[in-house]
Structure 1
Amino acid sequence: MTTQPTPKDTPRGAWTITFLLFLYMVVNFADKIVVGLAGVPIKTELGLTQEQFGTLGSSFFLLFSISGIIVGFIVNSVQTRWVLLILAVIWALAQFPMIGSVSFATLLICRIILGAGEGPAFSVAAHAVYKWFPDEKRTLPTAILSQGSAFGVILAVPALNWVIVNHSWHHAFGALGIVGLLWAVAWFALGKEGPLVPSAATAASEPKISYWKLLTSRTFVGCVVSTFGAYWALSLGLTWFTSFIIEGLGFSQQQAGFISILPWVFGATIVILTGWISQLMLARGFTTRGARGVLGAAPLVVGGCVLATLPYVAPGGLMIALLVIGSGLCGSIYVVCPPMLGEFTPVSQRGAVIAIYGALYTISGILAPMVMGGVIQHAGSPMAGYMIGFSINAAILVGSGVLGLLLLWPNTERARLTGTSQPDRAIKGAVSPT
């Protein structure tokens, strides 16, 4: 007779699924980085202005948020394994038109389609992995999932940059399409739905909370605002970092490819440390206010202060180091927000809430590349424009981090939403929502 996993057990196969979803996020971010990595060759071949290139970077996020919300509600009732498979196939197919001669309009349309397919990616993957881990064990798998972004860039940049330098940027897109199809085949063969889902009786008895209350709760708002600032920095990194290294600092395309890895290596370290420290704090009795809220928001303030010093140092290695550190510290917030939302959101509503959270904070992905492009276009020099753009980023990071520190109180959120009296507590004393 098979013993059913208790809420605090991790089912067999959980880490295999986590690894597959980690690879899913690797492909996801490799797809995102390719336009920024090939920015200078694309601008040269297509004759794009800085503003047009900023628009191209933003186009990826045009349907990103909308599709995230729609798919978020779909996964409340449809198995995540099939949704993840369909999304991966869309990513792959959106890359192939760029293999041949392509116009700016075609490139723009393909990036919009790719963005629509990738918009729900992290939210659906997080929802899927939470079906394999109880609440008190979710921070580390969330950190690993988030690492897909860093490793997607770390692994893809050298390979894609080699293709760009030795062949063309067109072939780089084709390579990503093939990799996307390979992941889809692997997931079709090995992907499974997690067992930690409520039974029909449990789901029927689980109290629902109105979406209005969930989406206006201070912790939800705090997660959106704080991650909005972090994603502003990430969007600039995806679209403009390599161009800055080449146009602002004078490095070659080949040199810029290696330098472009640095923010992601540092960011990967921050994400893993955040996940490990958070679970260690929870195990030692800290409330999730401290082990998730403060731990995630405080680095945004520090990162913004670091970026604010950029205009006051000489161009070169120190400027790159400050940009790497300031941007990389933002990774902490991605690790802690989905688990915080899972603390107080009923399981039957969790997929939609996490997806709406993702859809809202990624609006900064539309704004940040366009703002930077416009600033560079109208500044006295490219370097001056980049410095103004990074200063704007610094102010947004500090503001979002401060608001996060004020608003993130997940440990008492469910009691406030349900109107019950509940003491402030650590997660290890809570009942897992799964």
Structure 2
Amino acid sequence: MSRDNKGKTPMPRRRIWIYVLMFALSTINYVDRVVLSVSATSITREFGITPVELGYLFSSFLWLYVVCLVPMGMLVDRFGSRVVNAAGIGLWSAATALTALASGLGGFVVARIAMGIGESTTYPAAGRVIREWIPRSERALFAAIFNAGAYFGPAIGGIALAWLVEAAGWRAAFLACGAAGFVWLAAWLVWYRRPERAGWLDPRERDLILGEREPDAAAPAAAPSSLGRLLASRAMLGLMLTQGCAVYTQYLFLTWLPNYFQTERGMPMLKSGAMMAIPYLGAVILTTLVGRFSDARLDAAAAASGERRRVAAFAMLAGAVILLAPVTSSVPLVLLLIMIALAGVASTVALNIALVGDLIASSADAGRATGLLILGGNIFGILAPIVTGYVVQATGSFDAAFLVAGGLLLIGAASIFLLARHPIGATAPSLPANPGPVHVLPAAERP
């Protein structure tokens, strides 16, 4: 239960279902990404794929993913998150299921590219959901819970998919992942609407959400800023660079961690899946706590001036402990270092999404600004699997790969702290720290 603007009347918190839907979306998104990583040993053995070829295969779903991020953000701003999210998960779930029919490296690459196109809708749509549904006082928490799915997915995938591959083969794992996406799609189409149109939302809670929301969030047809104007912002560029440094480490672990445990630590597939789950589950808990902490210490004025960047910079510095991985032979200590690194990366990615919501001057830019943010991250993300493949093949070890990741995390910490403090996009009037309630039309009078 929560309270209304006067702090007196208890009311339901039914908007928690938006949190649940978006957390489940990012979970499925990343389960579908990690299924190839978990199945990699079986697939490489069946098709004779080399480490370098595997690195390119891991990277292939990002090739058009990054190209589509900004156009998908523009489509979100034009058609809304409900329609674009539905189309995206429908495409990527079909592509994931069809991967089971692949008979060689080319078939895998085509299926993964199609999956990447579909998945490019998720984060831009989440940026729009934040501006439509989530007050500033919950923005980092929502972003943290949404992004936690990117770590919960690999955690459950590491265990469940490893078991499924062992029991029924890698093709069954891809079919199961595709089916899960279509189940989510049905729930999304039934339940998701903007708060103005969500019939399941309690009227008092609707009034609270609309009363605390930025006034322009109710006007999706407002003129957006040009991409050039968004990219002219130092804050936007700083966020994109920081996102890139974080996502490089994220994709290093997402694509290569099962192989690291299996080859360098000599673990069988099922044990490597369990070991992969431990740091990912720890990261889910830690990043949610960091998001809650970020919300609790900021008022609206502090959030609008980019004060979340301080927490994000600290999270990146914490993640740089991965630099210590090459000097330890203890598996428990390596797991701890990976967990801290993942938590730092996860917290930064979530806070970056919240920062975009804080700093954009107009809600009409929500989808495209979030698309630019994720584009910055995934330009680096494309490189992580490929660079790691070359490093492992050349050195026979993951040590140098961990050193590259740690160095980038230090660069990202400096970038976000120094740059992410100015408005992004068109100039907008300042909002009061505690905006008062706005008049909300009765349901029958809403367009």
Corresponding residue for 2:427? 418
Corresponding residue for 1:397? 409
DSSP 3-state at the match of 1:48: coil
Structure 1 CA distance, aligned partners of 2:258 and 2:366?
37
Corresponding residue for 2:281? 265
Corresponding residue for 1:133? 134
CA displacement at 1:300 relative to structure 2: 0.9
Matched letter for residue 343 of structure 1? D
Corresponding residue for 1:366? 382
Alignment counterpart, residue 309 of structure 1, candidates 324, 337, 340: 324
Structure 2 CA distance, aligned partners of 1:364 and 1:53?
18
Corresponding residue for 1:167? 168
Matched letter for residue 45 of structure 1? E
Matched, 1:105 2:120: no
Corresponding residue for 1:26? 27
Specify whether residues 72 and 11 from structure 1 end up closer, same or farther in structure 2 by C-alpha distance, changes over 3 A only. farther
Q: How does 1:263-412 map to 2 (within 5 A)?
A: 263-283=279-299, 291-304=307-320, 306-314=321-329, 316-345=331-360, 346-379=362-395, 381=396, 383=397, 386-410=398-422
Question: Which stretch of the first structure deviates more once superposed, 279-288 or 369-378?
Answer: 279-288
Specify whether residues 213 and 46 from structure 1 end up closer, same or farther in structure 2 by C-alpha distance, changes over 3 A only. same
Output one character per residue of 1:95-130: Cα deviation in whole Å (capped at 9) or x when no partner.
222334521110111011101110221221231243
Matched letter for residue 333 of structure 1? T
Specify whether residues 204 and 399 from structure 1 end up closer, same or farther in structure 2 by C-alpha distance, changes over 3 A only. closer
Specify whether residues 79 and 419 from structure 1 end up closer, same or farther in structure 2 by C-alpha distance, changes over 3 A only. closer
Matched letter for residue 337 of structure 1? N
Matched, 1:16 2:17: yes
Structure 1 CA distance, aligned partners of 2:298 and 2:55?
42
CA displacement at 1:270 relative to structure 2: 2.2
Equivalent residues of 1:17, 1:192 under 8 A apart: no
Matched letter for residue 375 of structure 2? A
Question: Which stretch of the first structure deviates more once superposed, 324-333 or 232-241?
Answer: 324-333
Matched letter for residue 369 of structure 2? V
Specify whether residues 173 and 375 from structure 1 end up closer, same or farther in structure 2 by C-alpha distance, changes over 3 A only. same
Corresponding residue for 1:118? 119
Question: Which stretch of the first structure deviates more once superposed, 277-286 or 150-159?
Answer: 277-286
Q: How does 1:160-309 map to 2 (within 5 A)?
A: 160-195=161-196, 203=219, 209-283=225-299, 291-304=307-320, 306-309=321-324
Structure 1 CA distance, aligned partners of 2:220 and 2:237?
28
CA displacement at 1:12 relative to structure 2: 6.8
Output one character per residue of 1:131-173: Cα deviation in whole Å (capped at 9) or x when no partner.
1122333221111111211222223322111111112111100
CA displacement at 1:94 relative to structure 2: 0.4
CA displacement at 1:231 relative to structure 2: 0.4
Matched letter for residue 236 of structure 2? F
Structure 2 CA distance, aligned partners of 1:12 and 1:302?
33
CA displacement at 1:34 relative to structure 2: 0.8
Specify whether residues 159 and 208 from structure 1 end up closer, same or farther in structure 2 by C-alpha distance, changes over 3 A only. closer
Matched letter for residue 223 of structure 1? L
Could you tell me the TM-score, scaled by structure 1's length? 0.87
Specify whether residues 48 and 343 from structure 1 end up closer, same or farther in structure 2 by C-alpha distance, changes over 3 A only. same
Equivalent residues of 2:217, 2:364 under 8 A apart: no
Equivalent residues of 2:248, 2:381 under 8 A apart: yes
Equivalent residues of 2:240, 2:372 under 8 A apart: no
Q: How does 1:74-85 map to 2 (within 5 A)?
A: 74-85=75-86
DSSP 3-state at the match of 2:36: helix
Question: Mind listing any 5+ residue stretches in structure 1 that lack a counterpart?
Answer: none
Equivalent residues of 1:301, 1:399 under 8 A apart: no
Structure 1 CA distance, aligned partners of 2:91 and 2:36?
18
Structure 2 CA distance, aligned partners of 1:321 and 1:105?
37
CA displacement at 1:285 relative to structure 2: 8.0
Specify whether residues 208 and 86 from structure 1 end up closer, same or farther in structure 2 by C-alpha distance, changes over 3 A only. closer
Structure 2 CA distance, aligned partners of 1:390 and 1:329?
15
Specify whether residues 221 and 193 from structure 1 end up closer, same or farther in structure 2 by C-alpha distance, changes over 3 A only. same
Percent identity over the alignment is 24
Output one character per residue of 1:218-249: Cα deviation in whole Å (capped at 9) or x when no partner.
22112111111110111011110000001011
Matched letter for residue 58 of structure 1? S
Matched letter for residue 140 of structure 1? L
Equivalent residues of 2:247, 2:378 under 8 A apart: yes
Matched, 1:42 2:29: no
Equivalent residues of 2:148, 2:346 under 8 A apart: no
Question: Which stretch of the first structure deviates more once superposed, 152-161 or 80-89?
Answer: 152-161
Question: Which stretch of the first structure deviates more once superposed, 334-343 or 52-61?
Answer: 334-343
Output one character per residue of 1:274-321: Cα deviation in whole Å (capped at 9) or x when no partner.
1110111015985565751110122212321x1112222225332232
Question: Mind listing any 5+ residue stretches in structure 2 that lack a counterpart?
Answer: 197-209, 438-447
DSSP 3-state at the match of 1:192: coil
Specify whether residues 202 and 318 from structure 1 end up closer, same or farther in structure 2 by C-alpha distance, changes over 3 A only. closer
DSSP 3-state at the match of 1:223: helix
Structure 2 CA distance, aligned partners of 1:314 and 1:83?
46
Corresponding residue for 1:153? 154
Matched letter for residue 416 of structure 2? G
Structure 2 CA distance, aligned partners of 1:399 and 1:204?
36
Equivalent residues of 1:230, 1:333 under 8 A apart: yes
Specify whether residues 210 and 84 from structure 1 end up closer, same or farther in structure 2 by C-alpha distance, changes over 3 A only. closer
Matched letter for residue 322 of structure 1? L
Equivalent residues of 1:136, 1:428 under 8 A apart: no
CA displacement at 1:252 relative to structure 2: 0.8
Matched letter for residue 173 of structure 1? F
